[in-house]
Amino acid sequence: MNPSPTPHSAAPRTPAGRWSDSLFMRACRREPVERTPVWLMRQAGRYLPEYRAVRGRVGFMELCKTPSLAAEVMLATVDRLGVDAAIIFSDLLPILEPMGMDLEFAAGEGPVIHNPVREAADVARVHELSSLDSLSYVFDCVRATRAGLDDSLPVIGFAGAPFTLAGYCIEGGTSKSWLHTKSLMYRSPSAWHDLMDRLARAVSAYLVAQLDAGAQVVQVFDSWVGCLCPDDYRRYVLPHSRLAMAAAAARAPVIHFATGNPALLPLLAEAGGTVIGVDWRIGLDEAWKAIGHDRAIQGNLDPAVLLGNRDTVRQRTLDVLAAAGGRPGHIFNLGHGVHPQTPVENVLELIAAVKG
């Protein structure tokens, strides 16, 4: 029997507040709303001078591991932008540290894992996440964000999907081709599924713990799965993603987001998710047909549009809203995170356009 994480120190589950009837939560349930809710991936980031000021004092991981500061950054961002939900300030990869990965956020390089998994035998070095205690700072961040946020707005927790986490474990960082990842997947399918099972169980427990700490919704990011063809997604990924999301989905809405390959959308919906997040590589209306109109959808403005002029930002935002056709169940977002060089006024223009 695989070990389950030990109980963590958790506050009582947040009772339903005004957030339950918020635009965001109603859209997750595909209920009619007065206007489309909007939030942004990477909404607290380097494009904001307030965020850069904080980062001038502390490193990225120190910020992530200081719950009061992480919550402060997100709460200030929500106030500045006027978005309809607050995603916790954290990262996809800290979950890998208690699983045995030597993680560093190197200046100018992004995340680096110094002991990557390259061979089948290396999978044994990836520990089961038998305890969540070392991740308590994430749950404390959820609590602090929930406590500081108006109760009309929901808090979104998140985790990386098993494939994306596996890719980081194997490559040792980001990659353009993901050749080490695919090599292990094709050469050693048994070891691959062992690794993905470990990651899926960890993600499942991690998401549920965030809900226990006071999140109302969780999002699963499969940032790199677009490198796969549909057949490989079904064979090597789908069952693990389904396991990762199932327990949280029984409790709260789950947003399942992937980028890079619109051909995967029907399979993403099959794997699970109350809401399916899509990127800009497919029209929103076409994506919704592929997913099925029995699901809510999130997206899908190209974040690079925000580097243009404000008239372009407004028109392209209205184009996405038009593609949704007024159908219940649309949450406006970008097709990926805000680019660091984005002018703040363009982000504010987008939000104003959505709000009408």
DSSP 256: E
Write the CA distances from 127 to 124, 130, 140, 194, 204, integer angstroms.
7, 8, 23, 11, 15
Give CA angle at 93 (208, 263), nearest 5°.
80
Residue type (1 letter), 189: P
Give CA angle at 132 (51, 127), nearest 5°.
105
- 42, 234, 295, 314: which is the annotated catalytic residue? 42
In this structure, are residues 76 and 50 in contact, taking their beta carbons and an 8 Å threshold? yes
Q: Active-site residue 46, yes or no? A: yes
In this structure, are residues 155 and 216 in contact, taking their beta carbons and an 8 Å threshold? yes
What stretches of the chain adopt beta strand conformation (E)?
86-87, 103-106, 110-113, 155-160, 217-222, 254-258, 275-277, 296-301, 330-334
Q: How far is CA 123 from the centre of its chain?
A: 25
Q: Active-site residue 80, yes or no? A: no
Q: Active-site residue 55, yes or no? A: yes
Q: Active-site residue 194, yes or no? A: no
In this structure, are residues 241 and 207 in contact, taking their beta carbons and an 8 Å threshold? no
Listed residue (126, 130, 129) closest to 191, CA to CA: 126
**Rounded to whole angstroms, how far apart are CA atoms 187 and 203?**
25
Beta bridge partners of 158: 219
- 26, 47, 143, 168: which is the annotated catalytic residue? 168
**Rounded to whole angstroms, how far apart are CA atoms 134 and 196?**
21
Q: Active-site residue 294, yes or no? A: no
- 29, 80, 91, 310: which is the annotated catalytic residue? 91
Q: Provide the annotated active-site residues.
A: 42, 46, 55, 91, 168
